[in-house]
C-alpha cells in the first residue's frame, strides 16, 4: 500500500477498514483527525474512536491545515490515516478558505508523502438533491474533491456494509 | 444459498432480486414483512407487493419481534425473506426497544435458522448529513446494523438499478 | 458500444465518463440536454459544460420530448449522449406528463436508435427517506426509471469518485 482512498457512506465501516489496512503495516501510526469537538455528540464520537484505536496510534488534529500536517507526519510516523476529507471540506468552507488552492496543496502533499497514506471520505451525492443551496454547493465540492483524490492515489476502495469493493 | 443479505437504495430492485433468489428454491416461502400500514401510501404499497408475490408466499407481519418470527417460520417454510431490516430498525427506535439486544437476537436467529434466509435492507448513508438529529441517529444505527448483518451472513449483494453486485 | 447507461451520484464524474466513451467513437456527436436554465446557478452550470465539450458536439435541448429528440438525432449524428434522465423525470413530473407512457416511449427510442447512445442518470435513493412526499414520489419514480433503462441497454456502469464500476 502506498496511497489508498477509502470512500463510503455514513457508518459504512470505512474508518475501520482503512485502520485495519494501516495496522497491517509495521511501525507507529499517525491518525490525522479533521473533526472538531464542537458539541457533546461530536466530542463523544471522537473520544470513543480514539479509545478504540489504542496505543499504536498518535492523534494529530488538523481541521484546516491538512497538507502541512501530512508533510510533518510523514517524517515522524511509519503510516498515516486521514479521517476524513469530507469534514475537512466542511471546515474549509466554513472558514472561507479558497478551495482550489487547498485541494491543490492536498494533492501535492499526497504525491510527495513518503509514508503509506490512507485517506477517508464520505460519499454524499447519492440522495435526493438538498433544498438548501449551501448543502448543494457542499455536495458538489465533495464530489469534485473525491474525484480529484481518486485520480491521484494508487488505490480506491468503496466500502458498503463493512465490505470493500475495489474501484482502482 | 444459505443466508443472503441484499442492500440497496430506494426502488433499486432489491426486493425483486431477493424474491427471485428465493423463488429459485423449491417449496413454500415465508415473506416476513416489517412494514406497518399506517397510512394510505404505505397500505397501497404493501397490498401491491403482496399481490405481486402470488400464491407460493405466505405473509407474516413482524414489525418488532423479528428474531422469533424467523425462528417460527424456519420450522414451517422452505425459505424465508425478511423485507426489510431498515423499517424494522425504525419500528424498534420508535418503540424505544434496546437496539444492541435486538440486533444480537436477530444475529442469533440468522445463525440458527435452518432454512435458506434472505434479508433486505436499505442503504441510507450516502446522502448529505441530515439536519435532524433523529435522522442522523437512525442513519448511524442503520449503518451499524447493516455492517453487523453483512458480517454474519454468507453472501452480500448490493443492488443498483435492478442489477446485483456481489460484495461477499 | 451500442447502448450505455451511466448512473452515479452528484459530481461523481458520470458525465465526463459518458462523454469520454462517446468521444472514443468517430464522427460528430449530439448532446441531448434535459436541463432548463431557470436560474443563474443552472445557467452557469449549463454554459460551463457546453464550453467544456468543445466543437465536436452539437447541443439539443429536450426537457420533455426526449424520445423524439433521440429519434431525430440518430439520423443526423454518429453518436448521442443524453444528460440526464433524472432532470428529464423532474421535468415530466412538473409538467404532469403520464410517466408510464413517457417511460415506454423512451424505452422504444432506445431500442430503435441506430447510433451508439449513452444515457446518464443520477442515483438518488441512497440517502435518508425524504420528509417531503413529493421528493419521496420522485425518488421512487427515479428508481423505477433507472431499473427500466438498465434492463433495456447493453451496458450499465456505476461511476463513483470518477471511477467506473461495470454492473452489466
- Indicate yes or no: CB of B41 within 8 angstroms of CB of C133: yes
pLDDT of residue B81: 98
Q: Which residue of A has its CA nearest to C142?
A: A128
Q: Is A123 within 8 Å of chain C by CB?
A: yes
- To the nearest whole Å, the CA of A11 is away from the closest chain B CA by 5
Distance set, CA A76 to CA A83, A109, A112, A139 (Å): 18, 15, 15, 34
Q: Is B86 within 8 Å of chain A by CB?
A: no
Q: Is B138 within 8 Å of chain C by CB?
A: yes
- Indicate yes or no: CB of A7 within 8 angstroms of CB of C124: no
Q: Is B9 annotated as a binding residue?
A: yes
Contact (Cβ atoms closer than 8 angstroms) between residue C15 and residue C167: no
pLDDT of residue B36: 84
Residue A44, pLDDT above cutoff 90: no
Q: Which grid cell sits at B95?
A: 418503540
- To the nearest whole Å, the CA of A68 is away from the closest chain B CA by 28
Taking one residue from B and the other from C, the number of pairs with CB-CB distance under 8 angstroms is 73
Contact (Cβ atoms closer than 8 angstroms) between residue A126 and residue C9: yes
Residue C78, pLDDT above cutoff 90: yes
- Distance from C-alpha of C106 to C-alpha of A153, rounded to nearest angstrom: 39
Set of chain A residues whose Cβ sits within 8 Å of the Cβ of B143: 9-13, 161
Q: How confident is the model at residue A95 (pLDDT cuts 50, 70, 90)?
A: very high
Residue C39, pLDDT above cutoff 90: no
Closest CB from B127, B140, B165 relative to A126:
B127
User: Catalytic residue at B32?
Assistant: no
Averaged pLDDT in 10-residue chunks for chain B of 168 residues: 95 96 97 88 81 88 97 97 97 96 98 96 93 92 97 97 97
Residue C53, pLDDT above cutoff 90: no
pLDDT of residue B72: 97
Set of chain C residues whose Cβ sits within 8 Å of the Cβ of B139: 128
Q: Alpha helices of chain C — where are they, by DSSP H?
A: 14-23, 40-53, 66-76, 85-95, 99-111, 133-152
Taking one residue from A and the other from B, the number of pairs with CB-CB distance under 8 angstroms is 73
Closest alpha carbon to B82 in B99, B62, B101:
B62
Reported as a single tens digit per residue, the pLDDT across A109-140 is 999 999 999 999 999 999 998 989 999 999 99
Reported as a single tens digit per residue, the pLDDT across A47-63 is 888 888 888 999 999 99
pLDDT of residue B98: 96
Could you tell me if residue A160 is left (phi over 0), alpha (psi between -120 and 50 degrees) or otherwise beta? beta
With helix as H, strand as E and coil as C, how does A104-127 read?
HHHHHHHHCCCCCEEEEEECCCCC
- CB within 8 A of A29, min separation 6: which ones? A22, A23, A56, A57, A58, A77, A78, A79, A80, A81
- CB within 8 A of C86, min separation 6: which ones? C121, C122, C124, C142
Query: Residue C152 phi/psi, 5° resolution?
Result: -85, -40
- Indicate yes or no: CB of C128 within 8 angstroms of CB of B130: yes
Which residues of chain C from 40 to 79 reach within 8 Å of chain A, CB to CB? 41
- The pLDDT of C41-66, averaged and rounded, is 87
Q: How confident is the model at residue A45 (pLDDT cuts 50, 70, 90)?
A: confident
pLDDT of residue B45: 78
Domains of chain A: 3-166 (3.40.50.300)
Q: Is C99 within 8 Å of chain B by CB?
A: no
Q: Which residue of B has its CA nearest to C8?
A: B160
- The pLDDT of A4-29, averaged and rounded, is 96
pLDDT of residue B50: 82
pLDDT of residue B30: 97
pLDDT of residue A86: 96
Q: Is B144 within 8 Å of chain A by CB?
A: yes
CB atoms near residue A101 (< 10 Å): 10
Reported as a single tens digit per residue, the pLDDT across C54-68 is 889 999 999 999 999
Higher pLDDT, A115 or C43: A115
Set of chain C residues whose Cβ sits within 8 Å of the Cβ of B125: 126-127
Amino acid at each position: 500500500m502506498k496511497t489508498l482512498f477509502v470512500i463510503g457512506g455514513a457508518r459504512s465501516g470505512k474508518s475501520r477498514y482503512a485502520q485495519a489496512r494501516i495496522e497491517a503495516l509495521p511501525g507507529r501510526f499517525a491518525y490525522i483527525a479533521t473533526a472538531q469537538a464542537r458539541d457533546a455528540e461530536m466530542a463523544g464520537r471522537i473520544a470513543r474512536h480514539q479509545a478504540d484505536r489504542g496505543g499504536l496510534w498518535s492523534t494529530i488534529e488538523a481541521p484546516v491545515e491538512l497538507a502541512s500536517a501530512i508533510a510533518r507526519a510523514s517524517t515522524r510516523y511509519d503510516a498515516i490515516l486521514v479521517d476524513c476529507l469530507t469534514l475537512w471540506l466542511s471546515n474549509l468552507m466554513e472558514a472561507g478558505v479558497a478551495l482550489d488552492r487547498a485541494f491543490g496543496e492536498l494533492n501535492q502533499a499526497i504525491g510527495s508523502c513518503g509514508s503509506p497514506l490512507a485517506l477517508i471520505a464520505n460519499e454524499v451525492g447519492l440522495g435526493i438533491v438538498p433544498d438548501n443551496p449551501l448543502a448543494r454547493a457542499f455536495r458538489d465540492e465533495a464530489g469534485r474533491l473525491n474525484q480529484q483524490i481518486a485520480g491521484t492515489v494508487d488505490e480506491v476502495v468503496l466500502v458498503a456494509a463493512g465490505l470493500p469493493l475495489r474501484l482502482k
